[in-house]
């Protein structure tokens, strides 16, 4: 065998080995990614079922469950964070992500209705914030608005903040938007029934809160950066 032919065979063998290693690595990473995503989806499904069960329990004895309702809101926020992670891994338009996002939106609406029921039946005075954003590229200020609202939510954990994708194809959400008379001028906020459209600054956002609402809400003193706006 000539020197040239031998070197060519050696080069071919090295190329095949590298290609095989790359193919194996990509396949392994894809399997690991799929396994991780399935685990996320399963956990979200379990959490969703748990929250739905807790909602039913709260509805049976509202005034005896005010403390439990606060815990429930924290769990709902944690579920939103996990869903945001799944969205980052799979993409905003992934079928599974969209389905989970719809379930999460329904849970938020249900929690909001229970909060109003508690307020009416038990004399509670929660401060609720409905935040409507868009992931369709048609809301240039949604990121800034989300950061500001997330900062308030972190600093004043007693605030009950609910975030909704205005464009989500969900009948209950469309009805919720209509009932709350939210116009398509995003970002949009509804704080205890008072509307604000667009975003200029944190100070302007704070002005629509009821007088003394933030001052009477325990602040954490946190200086951590707020989360991104596009919560699921």
- The CATH number for 200's domain is 3.40.30.10
* Number of structural domains in the chain: 2
pLDDT tens, position by position, 28-53: 555 665 566 666 666 666 766 776 77
What stretch of H or E contains 15?
A: helix 3-60
> Are residues 187 and 140 both part of a single domain?
yes
pLDDT per position as a tens digit, 143-189 = 999 899 888 888 887 788 899 999 999 999 999 999 999 999 999 99
The answer on 56 and 38 residing in a single domain is yes
* Shared domain check, 193 and 155: yes
Cα–Cα distances (Å) from 15 to 27, 37, 78, in that order, read 18, 33, 47
Residue 91 φ/ψ region, left for φ over 0, alpha for ψ in the -120 to 50 degree band, beta for the rest? left
Are 26 and 108 within one domain?
Answer: yes
Q: CA torsion 70→71→76→79, rounded to 10°? A: 160
Which range of residues forms the domain containing residue 212?
127-232
CATH of the domain at 88: 1.20.58
Q: Are residues 138 and 92 in the same domain?
A: no
Please tell me whether residues 23 and 98 are part of one structural domain: yes
Does residue 153 sit in the same domain as residue 109? no
If we measure between CA atoms, which residue out of 183, 168, 152 comes closest to residue 108?
168
Residues 11 and 109 in one domain: yes
**pTM more than 0.75:** no
């Amino acid at each position: 065998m000539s020197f040239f032919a031998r070197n060519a065979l050696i080069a071919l063998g090295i190329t095949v080995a590298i290609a095989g290693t790359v193919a194996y690595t990509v396949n392994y990473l894809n399997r690991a990614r799929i396994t991780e995503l399935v685990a996320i989806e399963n956990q979200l499904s379990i959490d969703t079922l748990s929250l739905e069960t807790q909602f039913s329990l709260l509805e049976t004895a509202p005034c005896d469950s005010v403390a439990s309702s606060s815990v429930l809101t924290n769990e709902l926020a944690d579920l939103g964070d996990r869903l945001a992670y799944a969205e980052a891994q799979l993409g905003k338009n992934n079928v599974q992500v969209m389905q989970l996002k719809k379930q999460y939106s329904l849970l938020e609406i249900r929690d909001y209705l229970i909060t109003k029921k508690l307020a009416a039946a038990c004399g509670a005075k929660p401060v609720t914030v409905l935040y409507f954003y868009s992931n369709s590229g048609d809301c240039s200020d949604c990121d800034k608005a989300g950061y500001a609202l997330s900062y308030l939510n972190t600093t004043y954990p007693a605030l009950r903040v609910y975030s909704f994708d205005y464009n989500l194809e969900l009948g209950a959400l469309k009805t919720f938007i209509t009932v709350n008379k939210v116009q398509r001028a995003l970002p949009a906020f509804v704080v205890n029934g008072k509307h604000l459209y667009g975003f200029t600054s944190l100070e302007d956002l704070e002005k629509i809160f009821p007088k003394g609402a933030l001052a009477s809400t325990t602040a954490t003193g946190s200086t951590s950066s707020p989360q991104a706006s596009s919560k699921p």
